Amino acid sequence: MNTIKFSDGYSLKTETHNVEIYDSQYIEVNGKSRLVDSHCSIMIYPSLYCNAKCAFCINHFDENIKSCKEIEDDNLYFLKLREALKLLKHLKPTVHICGGEPTISHRILSIMGIVKEFGLLNRSFPTNGTGLLKRYEGKLLLQHMLENGLTNNINLSRSSHIDKNNQKLMGICFTNKDIETVATFCNVNHMSFRISCVLHKFGIDSLEDLISFHEYYRKLNIKSTIFREMVKVPKVNRKEKFVDIEPIMNQLDSDSRFEKIRTMQGEYYLVNVYRYKESIVKCYREKFKDDRELIRDFVFMPDGEVYIARNNKPNERLLGDINE
Ligand code: SF4
């Protein structure tokens, strides 16, 4: 997905891998030889339920997600998750716990425990924030995350840096005051926390908007903000909401506030790197359509099925599936 990322130029990098150092090889996956990216990941869905109502949410459009029948029995869900991780463990995938809204799933603590038990590194934790400051078994969810090693890239979604606009666009009330509390906890405990924004016509849709959004959160001591395009869904026309990020990226080259530093050639992304005040800005452009043989991501769906992901969506169910 094409992305613009602002991060702190003076602290250690937060990526779990370097885009310029990559490799892929044929590896056996469930009895079949498949070409797998050395930086592959698994997205774990505790549930598809989310309390927010973002108009751009892929879960409302994708057929594999819409037709998913969630396992109700927790024990069966955890059994299937363990089987999936056992199947993929030799690939050392990094983990995204996503959804739905993961912080309000009653399965969240157990899932974190299972990921830790398998020794897998978390890559990102996308959330709308709702449950981060809730107490589970007497402790803040953030504290559980810290204790279980979920400290990388806690990505909090916002559609606007203005509370009332965000509430209107996402349908939830997680305020900037709450975000400040989360940021303080993360900064004190060296957890990487960033604000993530999907561009769309009724929210953030221009370079000036991006800058205002980034500057606002920098003042709250949040040093990383990330902006993405809406995921494209075949046969679904979302033109009235869609914002093309490419012209915004191109603007950086002629804007004197941005100084171009270098270009990085990744396997999957071409990354232009700029300096903006005290931040580093990276523009990630996809080099290919994500329809090649190479597997970058797997998905564990809440019905216990394991898929290969394409374009951040479950796409191909693993053949000879573990559930059969
Ligand atoms: S917060 Fe995320 S999962 Fe929830 S509706 Fe918005 S985009 Fe979808």
What per-residue confidence (pLDDT) applies to 189?
Answer: 97
Asked whether residue 264 is assigned to any structural domain, the reply reads: no
CB-based burial label for 12 (10 Å; 0-12, 13-18, 19+): exposed
Could you tell me the distance, in angstroms and rounded to a whole number, from the CA of residue 133 to the centre of ligand 1?
18
Which ligand 1 atom sits nearest the alpha carbon of residue 98?
3
pTM: 0.90
CATH number for the domain that contains residue 237: 3.20.20.70
Could you tell me the distance, in angstroms and rounded to a whole number, from the CA of residue 23 to the centre of ligand 1?
32
Asked whether residue 220 is assigned to any structural domain, the reply reads: yes
Look at the chain and report how many structural domains it folds into: 1
Nearest CA to ligand 1 atom 8: 57
Q: Which domain holds residue 85?
A: 25-253+294-302
Angstrom distance (rounded) from CA 178 to CA 133? 8
Residues 6+ apart with CB under 8 A from 284: 1, 2, 3, 4, 5, 19, 269, 270, 271
Asked whether residue 228 is assigned to any structural domain, the reply reads: yes
Asked whether residue 316 is assigned to any structural domain, the reply reads: no
pLDDT tens figures, 141-190: 999 999 999 999 999 999 999 999 999 999 999 999 999 999 999 999 99
Asked whether residue 106 is assigned to any structural domain, the reply reads: yes
Nearest CA to ligand 1 atom 3: 100
Tokens, residue 301: 């769906």
Asked whether residue 288 is assigned to any structural domain, the reply reads: no
Asked whether residue 9 is assigned to any structural domain, the reply reads: no
The verdict on the CB of residue 271 being under 6 Å from ligand 1 is: no
Angstrom distance (rounded) from CA 174 to CA 103? 13
Could you tell me the distance, in angstroms and rounded to a whole number, from the CA of residue 46 to the centre of ligand 1?
14
The residue ranges of DSSP E strands in the chain, in sequence order, are 3-8, 24-29, 32-44, 94-97, 122-127, 135-136, 139-140, 154-157, 193-198, 224-228, 259-265, 269-276, 279-286, 295-300, 306-310, 313-317
Q: Indicate whether 312 pLDDT > 80.
A: no
The answer to whether 179 and 202 are in contact (CB under 8 A) is no
Q: Indicate whether 209 pLDDT > 90.
A: yes
Asked whether residue 226 is assigned to any structural domain, the reply reads: yes
Angstrom distance (rounded) from CA 172 to CA 250? 33
Counting ligand 1 atoms within 8 A of each CB, the residue from 58, 157, 196 with the most, and so the one to mutate, is: 157
